Amino acid sequence: MHPNPASDKISITFSNSSKPFTLEVYNNTALKLVDMSGIGSLDLITSSWPRGLYSFVLTQNGNALVKKVVIL
């Protein structure tokens, strides 16, 4: 996942690109902003998001990973 911090977009790529994944994004008040799925990689446009700290929850094969991302 890069860049971090970001302003316009976040790129997400999985090393196990043939398996589906889900992405949930929460703002600092725990409001879910994104709930989507994909395979391999995706670009998420963040240019309209307010500045702040966001939690990205990535799940693949039943394993969840939480990453904090700063939007400038």
Residue 22 is predicted with a pLDDT of 93
The CATH-assigned architecture of domain 9-71 is: Sandwich (2.60)
Residues written for the chain: 72
Residue pLDDT, tens place only, 17-64: 788 999 999 999 999 999 999 898 899 999 999 999 999 999 988 999
Tokens of 56: 């990205």
Residue extents of the structural domains in the chain:
9-71
Query: Considering the entire predicted model, what is its pTM?
Result: 0.89
